[in-house]
A and B are shown apart, each in its own frame.
Chain A
Amino acid sequence: MQDKTLDVRIWRGQGPDDGGRFVDYTVPRLDSQTVLDVVTHVQRVLDPTLSYRFACRVGMCGSCAMSVNGQARWTCRTHVAKVVGGDGDVLEIAPLANLPVVKDLATDMTGFFDKWARARGQFQGAQTRQDDFARVSPATPERQAADAGIECIGCGVCYGSCDVVQWRPDFLGPAALNRAWTLVNDVRDTARTERLRAVAGDAGCHSCHTQGSCTERCPKGIAPTLAIAGLKRTVARAAVKGEL
């Protein structure tokens, strides 16, 4: 029985001010091996100083998002066989792009969630527990638009894939804008005007150039590009009517 091996390059860095560099490791190559398996093996067997994040390891929480061969992915849901072709190929693992690096493969997601808040990504309702349930038909266009985006778990893959986030540091990003769109379409929400104001402008929806990297990479199949297109229409209509 021959033991196959896999060459891996993992980005190592001490913090946001450390330039960082790639370090080579060799791990056993197994059938049905995920990238997270590889990272875990390195940390447990080869180098305990490697820092990385994961939680559920079954594709539900989004904590293990990293850059694999230059593309943002959930490492627990990425089989090595899918991203490494022949035997000589190297697997490159780096932290998500567009986020400050805490250490090695762990990024600081503070800015990502701050932008979520700045985009007014919180529901604001007017009813209390004394009121009757709100009745919202799932078949209405608004509810369908909202439902298309509410499965987002804030993993950061879209944000890490977006060039506009890289070019405009203030840009709220696909996840925050997608969340805002689901709330704009929530008929129970009462903060519509503030939310539309929050997502307008250079930092908001109008800076999206429909590159579609977010939609391409989202592990939940959400299309932030289309949510942002919806925001563009809605904000423009409100601006023209003087409602902003």
Chain B
Amino acid sequence: MRRNDHRAHGHPSWWAFWLHRVSGLLLALFLPLHFLALGQALRGPGALEGFLRFADAPLVKLAEWGLVTLLALHLTGGVRLLLIEFGRASDLRKNWIAGGIGVAFATGLAFALSLLS
């Protein structure tokens, strides 16, 4: 049987799905690392401090911004899904996709500005 390719995927709702799934996957991979890092505090404040100084590296800061943005994207996309599934949406709420992406990047920007301050 024939399979669909990217041409069948070229609409906002599909991209919202893909973004939601991929952001969730990346966050799921990150989460254990996040817990391990914080758990360093069990070895004393020195161990946690050591990790935080490692995290000062610009590349790490960039990754942090990325993660914050991914989390915000997953959140706004998820809220859209909750509204479609539990609310009485009459369509696929594509305007919420745009709004959600906007809010997510605004959050990322706020975080970036805080990092740089």
Contact = CB atoms under 8 A, between A and B. Distances in A.
B86 interface: yes
Most buried by B among A100, A160, A226, A233: A226
Interface stretch (B5-13, B30-38, B43-51): B5-13
- SS of A interface (majority): mixed
Contacts, number: 81
Contacts of A72: 8
Interface residues of B, number: 22
B90 interface: yes
Nearest to B7: A70
B85 to A, nearest CB: 5
B13 A215 contact: yes
Contact of A211 (B3, B14, B85, B91): B14
Nearest to B12: A212
Nearest to A165: B4
Interface string A196-217: 0000000000000111110110
Given A223-B92, A226-B90, A71 B8 contact: yes
Contacts of A95: 2
Interface residues of A, number: 33
Contacts of A166: 3-4
Most buried by A among B8, B11, B86: B8
B2 A225 contact: no
Contacts of A94: 2
A213 B13 contact: yes
A67 interface: yes
A74 B67 CA distance: 43
A176 interface: no
5 contacts: A97-B8, A212-B14, A213-B9, A226-B91, A233-B85
